[in-house]
Amino acid sequence: MPDRPPVPPVLALHRVSKSFGAVRALHEVSLELFAGEAHALAGENGAGKSTLVKILSGLHRPDAGRILLDGEPAEFHGPADAQRAGVAVIYQEPTLFPDLSVTENIFMGRQPRARFGRIDRPAARRRAAALFAGLGVQLDPDQPARGLSIADQQLVEIAKALSRDARVLIMDEPTAALSGNEVARLFGVVEALRARGCAVLFVSHRLEEIFELCRRVTTLRDGAFVSGDLIADMTPDDLVRRMVGREPEALFPKLDTVPGQVALAVRRLTREGVFTDVSFEVRAGEVVALAGLVGAGRSEVARAVFGVDRPDAGRVEVGGRRLRPASPSAAMAAGLALVPEDRRQQGLIMDLSIERNIALAGLPAVRRGPLISRAAERARAHDWAVRLRLKFARLADPVGVLSGGNQQKVVLAKWLARKPSVLIVDEPTRGIDVGTKAEVHRLLSELAAGGVAVLMISSELPEVLGMADRVLVMHEGRLVADIPRAEATEESVMAAATGRGAA
Ligand X SMILES: Nc1ncnc2c1ncn2[C@@H]1O[C@H](COP(=O)(O)OP(=O)(O)OP(=O)(O)O)[C@@H](O)[C@H]1O
Residues 272-301 contacting ligand X, CB under 6 A? 274, 292, 294-300
Residue 91 or 202 having the CB closest to other proteins: 91
- Determine the interface stretch with other proteins among 251-259, 339-347, 439-447, 457-465 (rule: CB under 8 A): 339-347
> Which of 11, 40, 42, 49: binder of ligand X (CB under 6 A)?
49
End-to-end CA distance of the chain: 47
Q: Which does 25 bind (CB under 5 to 8 A by kind): Mg ion, ligand X, other proteins, none?
A: ligand X
- CA gap 133, 454 in Å, rounded: 46
Cα 145 to Cα 152, 153, 157, 158, distances in angstroms? 9, 7, 11, 14
Residue 232 or 393 having the CB closest to other proteins: 393
Tell me if 314 contacts ligand X by CB under 6 A.
Answer: no
> Which of 17, 101, 218, 299: binder of Mg ion (CB under 5 A)?
299
Grouping H, G, I as helix, E, B as strand and the rest as coil, residue 90 is strand
Contact call for residues 354 and 411 (beta carbons, < 8 A): no
Binding mask of the shown chain, residues 400 to 429, with x at each position contacting other proteins by CB under 8 A: xx------------x---------------
Binding mask of the shown chain, residues 194 to 233, with x at each position contacting other proteins by CB under 8 A: ----------------------------------------
Contact call for residues 207 and 40 (beta carbons, < 8 A): no
Tell me if 59 contacts other proteins by CB under 8 A.
Answer: yes
Tell me if 159 contacts other proteins by CB under 8 A.
Answer: no
- Determine the interface stretch with Mg ion among 91-99, 242-250, 317-325, 398-406 (rule: CB under 5 A): 91-99
Binding mask of the shown chain, residues 442 to 481, with x at each position contacting ligand X by CB under 6 A: ---------------x-x----------------------
Contact call for residues 28 and 51 (beta carbons, < 8 A): no
Tell me if 94 contacts ligand X by CB under 6 A.
Answer: no
- Determine the interface stretch with ligand X among 42-50, 139-147, 158-166, 233-241 (rule: CB under 6 A): 42-50
Closest to 144 (Cα-Cα) out of 156, 132, 136: 156
- CA gap 203, 366 in Å, rounded: 45
Interface of this chain with other proteins, residues 299 to 338, rule: CB under 8 A: 306, 308, 328-329, 331-332, 338
Smallest gap from Cβ 428 to Mg ion, in A, equals 11
As a three-state string, the secondary structure of 12-56 is EEEEEEEEECCEEEEEEEEEEECCCCEEEEECCCCCCHHHHHHHH
> Which of 8, 319, 451, 499: binder of other proteins (CB under 8 A)?
499
Tell me if 377 contacts ligand X by CB under 6 A.
Answer: no
Local structure of residue 162 (DSSP, 8 states): H
> Which of 347, 428, 431, 466: binder of other proteins (CB under 8 A)?
347
Tell me if 257 contacts ligand X by CB under 6 A.
Answer: no
Smallest gap from Cβ 494 to Mg ion, in A, equals 17
Q: Which does 43 bind (CB under 5 to 8 A by kind): Mg ion, other proteins, ligand X, none?
A: ligand X
- CA gap 328, 202 in Å, rounded: 39
> Which of 50, 57, 218, 407: binder of Mg ion (CB under 5 A)?
50
CA atoms within 13 A on the CB side of 216: 20
Cβ neighbours of residue 428 closer than 8 Å, sequence gap 6 or more? 339, 408, 412, 440, 444, 456, 458
Local structure of residue 346 (DSSP, 8 states): I
Number of residues that bind Mg ion (CB under 5 A): 5
Smallest gap from Cβ 422 to other proteins, in A, equals 14
* Per-position DSSP letters for 293-339, written without gaps between them: STTSSHHHHHHHHHTSS--SEEEEEETTEEPPTT-HHHHHHTTEEEE
User: H-helix or E-strand containing 288?
Assistant: strand 287-292
Closest to 252 (Cα-Cα) out of 440, 459, 438: 438
Closest to 266 (Cα-Cα) out of 322, 309, 328: 322
Q: Which does 406 bind (CB under 5 to 8 A by kind): Mg ion, ligand X, other proteins, none?
A: none
- Determine the interface stretch with Mg ion among 42-50, 305-313, 430-438, 441-449 (rule: CB under 5 A): 42-50
Tell me if 152 contacts other proteins by CB under 8 A.
Answer: yes
- CA gap 240, 282 in Å, rounded: 31
- Determine the interface stretch with ligand X among 20-28, 388-396, 437-445, 493-501 (rule: CB under 6 A): 20-28
Smallest gap from Cβ 340 to Mg ion, in A, equals 9
- CA gap 180, 135 in Å, rounded: 12
CB atoms within 10 A of CB 489: 13
CB atoms within 10 A of CB 394: 8
Smallest gap from Cβ 82 to other proteins, in A, equals 8
Interface of this chain with Mg ion, residues 330 to 349, rule: CB under 5 A: 341
Contact positions vs ligand X (CB under 6 A): 20, 23, 25, 43, 45-51, 92, 150, 274, 292, 294-300, 341, 404, 431, 457, 459
Contact positions vs Mg ion (CB under 5 A): 49-50, 92, 299, 341
